[in-house]
Structure 1
Amino acid sequence: MRLDIADLHLFLCVVDAGSITQGAARANLALASASERLRSIEADAGVALLERRPRGIATTEAGEALAHHARLILRQQALLKGELRDFAAGARGTLHLYANTAALATFLPSRLAPWLAERPRLHVELKERTSAEIVRAVAAGLAEAGIVSNAVEPGNVKLLPAAKDHLVLIVPKEHRLAQFRQVHLADVLNEPFVGLTPENALQDHLDYHARTAGHPFALRIRMKTFEGLCEMVAHGVGLGILPQSIAGRLRRRHSFRTVALTDNWACRQLCLCFRDWEELSPPMQRLFIHLSGSLNATSKSLCSS
């Protein structure tokens, strides 16, 4: 059989109306055209589907079978259209988003939660990487988009500012540096430090800048969480470096002071990272518009092009 969706729709309109004339009207077809298509459907089926009566039509047993399957097919088509609309509108599917440590810990939870809650059929897969790794992956086409620090060299990707992400030094309250308002990293590298575990993207970033400034951190211990790092610093084990937003939140629970870092790489912003706006999938575009607070994606101000 070579029935198409329009044929099935017409057949059901006629069956539901109980009349070819009224069914043709429901299908927005002329009576002659509808009658001709019905004859073609029956010829293609090789069996009578309708009984023509003086006051309308009735379905044969074969017609009942066709009507049953036509309803299933049209219902499935409607579901398919709805799902495709959801994908196009960014309400269904899976977004793969790369993010650095600070974005995962402080920026994304509060900004992503309400947006994702409104899209129950959408999934987001987050992957933690350093900013440099994310930029390389996006530039190479291995990742669609990410969230990075603007301290990274952007190369051929675009960076859209989304939030401040300054790094600060945290010190015990009794430490001599607690009275300082700001310091340069190179001036405190002789102090003992508390770090994060080696697989942590932020710690990899800090280790690189410590080596660039003179020599590696003298780490007394590495902690898996920011909470654990702050507790160690509060007890005088060593100094630590955290995003300002995290330090501000955890300072209420732990006794330490924050000191601004004057290094350019520490005075940073979180940026949305992508190669070309038009290449982003519609769901990713909608997410980035939400995260950046921008209403006009085509007039965005970029950190770098």
Structure 2
Amino acid sequence: MLPDNDSLALFVKAAECGSLTKAAEVSHMSLGAASRRIALLEHKFKTILFERTSKGIHLTPAGAALVHYAKDLLVDLNKMQSEMSAFEAGNKGVLRVLASTSSMAQCLPEDLALFSKAHPDYKLIVHEAWSNEITQSILAAEADVGIIMKGAFTAGLDVFDYRTDHLAALFRSDHPLAHKDNFSFSDVLDYDLIGLEGSANLMKLLTMEATNLGKTMKLRVEVRSFEAVLKMVQSGLGVGLLPKDVGLSKAASGDVVCRPLPEPWAVRQMLICTRQGQSKNLALTNFLSTLLGSIPKAA
């Protein structure tokens, strides 16, 4: 039988605090009760989890191994309780959605709102992740549906075309290319660039196109968000590369200029992916219908 959740949570807190006294206070229990819980854990696993010293407590090798699993288990239990509470509240089901940074910054929020309005009895749990992480999570059944960029590994998944994403360059308004006629990606490569950390598929695409031109990318700074890209561009650290719709919203301030890259490869396809064999999942079917129905029709 597994230890109870409260004992595992106390154990993790004690490991983080380095003090059973502090962990007991945070957990709103007496020191005696906390000591008994830790003793029961040690009895359960037939090993010592903490070394006690005059300066506090320290994890033994066994304790260090357990704390890793305990943290993961507590996170999973919290997710389980959250999803089950949705049913208790009268919801018909829960959809776990993982979405790429580009989709979250552009079209997806509006489409999620459409789905929620049409299907208020379903709860959405939405997290942002990189495309390759998303496909791995879908395959592992850790999420139900993903919004990714084409180029990610999709073997074993059902995949549907979603929307397109047009890459653009973001310049400070006084940059030489900000207002140059007929600029190209080749011109951009002559300057320092601001990249998005973790966006492996985008960087792979840009690097490949640079190589085709016989040039290399001068990646000066990597940041974690589009807002940070804007700040770096405003500071004159380089040229940002990001989706056009995101760039245009950032350019509204007037101190930066967003220019779509003219090359055909700069138009990327967003995809919706799910595990195979999900046709009987009504929530997922309704979700796909909403998102696919939201795609603008070609003129």
Normalising by structure 2, report the TM-score: 0.56
Partner of 1:188: 188
How many angstroms does 1:106 deviate by?
A: 1.4
How far apart are the structure 1 equivalents of 2:118 and 2:168?
35
CA distance in structure 2 between the partners assigned to 1:141 and 1:249 by the alignment: 35
User: 1:289 matched to which residue of 2?
Assistant: 289
Q: Secondary structure at the match of 1:288?
A: helix
Matched, 1:158 2:158: yes
Q: Which residue of 2 aligns with 1:259?
A: 259
Alpha-carbon distance between aligned partners in 2 of 1:183 and 1:288, rounded to the nearest angstrom: 36
Query: Cα–Cα, structure 1 residues 158 and 254, in superposed 2: closer, same or farther, change >3 Å?
Result: farther
Distance 2:156 2:273 in 1: 10
Q: Which amino acid aligns with 2:193?
A: F
In the alignment, what sits opposite 1:274? Answer: 274
Q: How big is each residue's C-alpha offset from its partner over 1:166-185, in whole Å with a ceiling of 9 and x where there is no partner?
A: 1111122332222144523x
Deviation at 1:294, TM superposition (A): 7.1
Counterpart of 2:201 (choices 198, 205, 209) is 205
Per the alignment, residue 176 of structure 1 pairs with 176
Other-structure match for 1:76: none
Listed one character per residue, the Cα deviations across residues 210-260 of structure 1 (whole Å, up to 9, x for unaligned) are 444448754444444323322432443210011111112221124222333
Structure 1 unmatched runs, 5+:
1-82, 296-305
Q: CA deviation at 1:264?
A: 5.6
Query: What's the secondary structure of 1:106's corresponding residue?
Result: coil
Paired amino acid for 2:225: T
Alpha-carbon deviation of 1:152? 3.6
Structure 2 Cα separation of the partners of residues 140 and 120 of structure 1: 27
Conserved 8 A contact 1:169-1:258: yes
The letter for the 2-side match of 1:93 is G
Give SS of 1:177's match.
coil
Distance 1:153 1:261, change over 3 A: farther
| Counterpart Cα distance in 2 of 1:242 and 1:125 | 26
Percent pairwise identity: 26
Please give the residue correspondences for 1:8-157 in structure 2 after superposition, counting only pairs within 5 Å. 91-117=91-117, 119-139=119-139, 141=141, 143-152=143-152, 154-157=154-157
AA in 1 matched with 2:171 = V
2:288 & 2:187 partners in 1: Cα distance? 38
Asked if 2 retains the 8 angstrom alpha-carbon contact of 1:183 and 1:259, the reply is no
1:293 and 1:154, CA in 2 relative to 1: closer, same or farther beyond 3 A? same
Aligned to 2:59: none
Q: Shift of residue 286 of structure 1?
A: 0.6
1:164 and 1:280 map into 2 onto residues whose CA distance is 28
How far residue 288 of structure 1 moved from its aligned partner, in angstroms, is 1.3
Distance 1:294 1:246, change over 3 A: closer
**Secondary structure of the structure 1 residue equivalent to 2:105:** helix
The structural deviation recorded for 1:262 is 5.0
Secondary structure of 1:123 counterpart = strand
Which piece of structure 1 moves more, 240-249 or 123-132? 123-132
Amino acid at match of 2:188: V
Structure 2's unaligned 5+ residue stretches are 1-86
> CA distance change for structure 1 residues 263 and 252 in 2, over 3 Å: closer, same or farther?
same
Please list the CA deviations of residues 160-207 of structure 1 after superposition, one character each: whole Å capped at 9, or x if unmatched.
Answer: 2222211111122332222144523x65334212234x3xx5x33333
User: How far 1:275 moved relative to its partner?
Assistant: 3.9
Say if 2:250 and 2:256, in contact at 8 Å, map to a contact too. Answer: no
CA contact (8 A) 2:111 2:294 kept: no
Which one-letter code corresponds to 1:115 in the other structure?
A: F
Q: Which amino acid aligns with 1:193?
A: L
Q: Which amino acid aligns with 1:113?
A: A
Distance in 2, Cα, partners of 1:275 & 1:180:
46
Q: Write the distance in 2 (CA, Å) between the matches of 1:153 and 1:167.
A: 21
After TM superposition, the score normalised by the length of structure 1 is 0.55
Distance 1:208 1:266 in 2: 13
**1:293 positional shift:** 0.6
Question: Would you say the 8 A contact 1:207–1:217 is kept in 2?
Answer: no
What residue identity is the alignment partner of 2:203?
D
Q: What are the Cα deviations for residues 243-291 of structure 1, in whole angstroms up to 9, with x where unaligned?
A: 1111122211242223333566531122211243644621111111111
